[in-house]
Amino acid sequence: MVQRLSVEEFLLKSKGKTIIDVRSPKEFLHAHIPNAISLPLFSDDERAEVGTAYKQKGREEAMMIGLKHYGANMQRIISGIKDASNPKELYVHCWRGGMRSGVVSWMLDLFGYKVFILEKGYKSFRHLVLTQFEKKYPLQILGGRTGSAKTLVLKELQKKNQQVIDLEGLANHKGSAFGALGEAPPPSQEQFENFLAIELLNCDSSKPIWLEDESQRIGWVNVPNNMWAQMREAKVFYLDVPFDERLKYIVENYGVFNVEHLKDATNRISQKLGGLNTKLTLQFLEEKNFTEAFRILLHYYDKFYDRATDKREVSSVKKISCEEISPEKNTEKIFTKIKNS
């Protein structure tokens, strides 16, 4: 028998199980519940056809058109489930938890699956997502100028059983004009919010949650306003790494990319970088003199980052002197700073 679950129950019970999104491919591509698979009841064109009929000719005509596509599409859905796995439980949703999830779940039930429907559909999930950003969290921010290997330190913190949310990882972007290099295509703003909300839901809000110090905009997405405000008010553990160490790290990590792509990224910040610095940087990149090119760029980003840090309460920034890029050593320095604070 098909059961309906609230969004909280649905997310809890579906962990490690198969979540089936029966919305159209376009709806799924725009944003979806993380880890869901797309098995649409209707294609984008079919959904448009049904919707047009509903508006122009009424519900009954729309249902008749839907039935025309139903049989073949249900065969595809059943095959898709068998290809993905052979689960005992299936978790199904559409947009509002109405007809699409209802008819799919009915058929899956006939095939012997134990089926759960998300009450009020993806719409209820989005409501839950947005409410997560209104809550208060015990945030701790990992700071430091560009090239301080903050992402590697976050990973080390995670190894030490600390709660970590990698915002750049969720955004598929490292934050600077060069941040898209080597990354997968970015998510939509809505999908980024979905990823972030699930991460927050999976955290214990009684324990610290580590985030990297970021601008509100990370590539093509924005940190939700309330979360961003909390990040700006939180305590910052600032890795103070020498310039030459950071420069070496940047050259090693960014000097591997296509020179034309590096030049394109430089041109995107040319107005702020300045005419002479832009010209010199492009020249050094053309010569593959990455050390001198990134020396100019690193000075630029240091000024940018320092201005943002200066806007924080001085007492909230805990500077940690780091002699080198060493995630293990610098993580231990953070723990020492916390212990002595």
Tell me the C-alpha to C-alpha distance, in Å, between residue 131 and each of 113, 124, 136, 313: 32, 11, 11, 28
Write the CB contacts of 111 (distance below 8 Å, at least 6 apart in sequence). Answer: 78
Residue 191, SS3? helix
Other C-beta atoms lying within 10 Å of the C-beta of residue 59: 10
Whether 203 is a known active-site residue: answer no
Write the CB contacts of 66 (distance below 8 Å, at least 6 apart in sequence). Answer: 42, 50, 99
**Residue 108, exposed/middle/buried by CB under 10 A (0-12, 13-18, 19+)?**
buried
Kindly state the tokens that stand for 238: 């600032």
Give 126's DSSP letter: H
* Cα four-point dihedral sign 157, 159, 163, 168: positive
Other C-beta atoms lying within 10 Å of the C-beta of residue 49: 17
Question: Which one is catalytic: 36, 39, 65, 94?
Answer: 94
Q: Cα(274)–Cα(281) distance, rounded to whole angstroms?
A: 10
Other C-beta atoms lying within 10 Å of the C-beta of residue 183: 14
- Yes or no: say if 209 and 137 are a contact pair by the CB < 8 Å rule: yes
Which residues are known catalytic residues?
Answer: 94
